[in-house]
Amino acid sequence: MKQSHDVIVVGAGPAGATLAYELAKRGIGVLVLEKEKLPRYKCCAGGVTSKAAKLLDFDISEVTEDVIHEVSFTFNLGSPYLGQDSQPLIYTVMRDAFDYFLVQKAQQLGAVLMDGQKVTQVQVSADWVEISTADNVFRSRLVVGADGAYSVVARELGMGKSIGYAAGIESEIVVPEEELAKWKSRVQIDLGCIPGGYAWVFPKRNHLSIGVGCQASKTRDLHAHHQKFLNSLSIDNYTVTKSSSHLIPTCTKGRIVWQDKALLLGDAAGLADPLTGEGIYNAILSAQLAAPVIEDSLVRGKVGLQDYQEIVERKIMSELKMARTLSKIFVRFPHLAFGMFNQSEGVWRAVCNLMFGEIDYTAIKGRVGEFKGIFNRLFRA
Ligand SMILES: Cc1cc2nc3c(=O)[nH]c(=O)nc-3n(C[C@H](O)[C@H](O)[C@H](O)COP(=O)(O)OP(=O)(O)OC[C@H]3O[C@@H](n4cnc5c(N)ncnc54)[C@H](O)[C@@H]3O)c2cc1C
């Protein structure tokens, strides 16, 4: 017999878990289908920016590994620019614990989780959506694809167009305690050691997450760049406990994120930031934008989910467009991008305010004259 639900969410990452939480809060029946058994590892640096944490209406300290107050920017591992702030800039998390924590918040409000259920087929008819896994067929009034970069929902419904990709490698690295202590509350971002991207060190409670990421078109030597970065950190005696790579999808112009009975969220919609690769913020935000649209449709009888497209374009895609423009400049002139930090304290303040969510890329556009002046000075030099 087919199980019926109001909404089926495919994927229990930050996007799917947040939508389940928001729908359950509104009294809407929601089933989350997740292919892995939870908690599951996710290839990610695990940086939850302050602005991302602020979106949630609960505290995440239970699953926070470290609180970051300092960013050490380097260019090709040269002398660092140290940016600091007394406010938390980033919370580092392990995604198995963080994502499961979000799912549990949804379950506490009545959302149902079925893990170990890999969705293989999605079929939309006039009245229902039918969603198949290896052992079950489910029915729902709406389906939401929150199933990440390789979204089966997007593929099944022919919604996989207008996406560009970055790619990243992430290693979980156990280091001696004295080494770990050096990284407390500090992340490192290196521009220049990999073309078209950057490398990072994110400290966790008992280890370091070290990775590199770049535009997918430039990934030929991703592993070699990762190893080179690791070697250059001069960490004696380390153990790699996990190493994996994954795509980071960023949408391009014309991306459609809805159909009559379907929506896409987070990475499935291609909403990661093309400049930084940050995807958790927009995963959570897209879920929070989707919830009232779904409520309008299911509870108030409003036909269609197209309002979601409009609000995602206004609140997220316009920002991604700005980020893409900045990313093109930084990819082409990474040394100048790095050089800007030493030219004006305003550059670091702008980065902090972006992480706090106090300004967005559109606000940066308003200050373009100021930043262009610095950039041109560096360019001439
Ligand atoms: C190397 C790397 C480093 C990154 N670092 C950061 C960072 O520091 N900060 C940041 O904000 N972002 C980072 N990102 C991006 C971030 O990981 C993603 O943008 C974010 O996970 C998107 O969340 P999501 O919920 O949309 O998708 P996901 O987190 O990918 O969740 C999708 C879920 O769907 C499940 N699923 C997939 N297919 C199916 C199926 N067929 N049936 C059922 N379930 C399915 C998956 O198992 C998964 O649990 C990084 C990405 C990479 C690759």
Residue 218: which pLDDT band, with cuts at 50, 70 and 90? confident
pLDDT of residue 42: 98
Mean per-residue pLDDT for 194-205?
A: 96
Q: Could you give the CA distance from residue 199 to residue 7 in angstroms, rounded to a whole number?
A: 39
Q: Could you give the CA distance from residue 327 to residue 215 in angstroms, rounded to a whole number?
A: 10
Name the closest-CA residue to atom 35, ligand 1: 11
Cβ of 103 below 6 Å from ligand 1: no
Q: Could you give the CA distance from residue 329 to residue 239 in angstroms, rounded to a whole number?
A: 36
pLDDT of residue 110: 97
Atom of ligand 1 nearest to the CA of 168: 1
Q: Which of 147, 226, 243 is the best mutation target for the ligand 1 pocket, counting ligand atoms within 8 Å of the beta carbon and taking the most? A: 147
Cβ of 65 below 6 Å from ligand 1: no
Does 184 have pLDDT greater than 80? yes
Q: Could you give the CA distance from residue 198 to residue 201 in angstroms, rounded to a whole number?
A: 11
135 Cβ contact list (under 8 Å, min separation 6): 117
Q: How far does residue 14's CA lie from ligand 1's centre (Å)? A: 8
Nearest to 132 by CA among 147, 117, 142, 144: 117
Nearest to 348 by CA among 189, 139, 228: 189
Cβ of 201 below 6 Å from ligand 1: no
**Looking at 15-24, 144-153, 294-303, which range is the least confident one?**
294-303
pLDDT of residue 1: 54
Q: Which CATH number fits domain 66-91+164-249: 1.20.210.10, 3.65.10.10, 3.30.9.10, 3.40.50.620?
A: 3.30.9.10
Nearest to 57 by CA among 84, 30, 110, 18: 18
Q: Could you give the CA distance from residue 287 to residue 144 in angstroms, rounded to a whole number?
A: 10
Does 307 have pLDDT greater than 90? yes
Q: How far does residue 360's CA lie from ligand 1's centre (Å)? A: 23
Atom of ligand 1 nearest to the CA of 272: 19
pLDDT of residue 345: 87
More confident of the two residues 138 and 236: 138
Cβ of 46 below 6 Å from ligand 1: yes
Q: How many angstroms separate the Cα of 145 from the Cα of each of 79, 89, 121, 151, 246?
A: 44, 30, 12, 7, 18
Name the closest-CA residue to atom 37, ligand 1: 147
Q: Could you give the CA distance from residue 344 to residue 4 in angstroms, rounded to a whole number?
A: 58
Does 161 have pLDDT greater than 70? yes
CATH class of 3-60+94-162+252-323: alpha beta
pLDDT tens per residue, range 222-238: 999 999 999 999 898 99
| 95, two tokens | 């995604």
Burial class (CB in 10 A: 0-12, 13-18, 19+), 154: buried
pLDDT tens per residue, range 276-298: 999 999 999 999 999 999 999 99
pLDDT of residue 3: 75
pLDDT tens per residue, range 316-364: 999 999 999 989 888 888 888 898 888 888 899 999 999 999 999 988 8
| 158, two tokens | 């022919």
pLDDT of residue 4: 80
Q: How far does residue 13's CA lie from ligand 1's centre (Å)? A: 6
What residues does each domain of the chain span? 3-60+94-162+252-323, 66-91+164-249, 331-380
HSE of 3 in the Cβ direction (CA atoms, 13 Å)?
Answer: 17
Q: Would you say 148 and 158 are in contact if contact means Cβ atoms under 8 Å apart?
A: no
Q: How far does residue 87's CA lie from ligand 1's centre (Å)? A: 27
Cβ of 168 below 6 Å from ligand 1: yes
Atom of ligand 1 nearest to the CA of 14: 25
Torsion sign, CA atoms 24, 28, 34, 37: positive
pLDDT tens per residue, range 45-74: 999 999 999 999 999 999 999 999 999 999
Mean per-residue pLDDT for 21-37?
A: 98
pLDDT of residue 206: 98
pLDDT tens per residue, range 95-114: 999 999 999 999 999 999 99
**Looking at 28-37, 175-184, 231-240, 270-279, which range is the least confident one?**
231-240
Name the closest-CA residue to atom 2, ligand 1: 44
Does 169 have pLDDT greater than 60? yes
| 348, two tokens | 């670091």
221 Cβ contact list (under 8 Å, min separation 6): none
Cβ of 186 below 6 Å from ligand 1: no
Predicted model pTM: 0.97
Does 87 have pLDDT greater than 90? yes
pLDDT of residue 380: 74
Torsion sign, CA atoms 96, 205, 105, 282: negative
Q: Would you say 178 and 199 are in contact if contact means Cβ atoms under 8 Å apart?
A: no
Q: How far does residue 23's CA lie from ligand 1's centre (Å)? A: 20
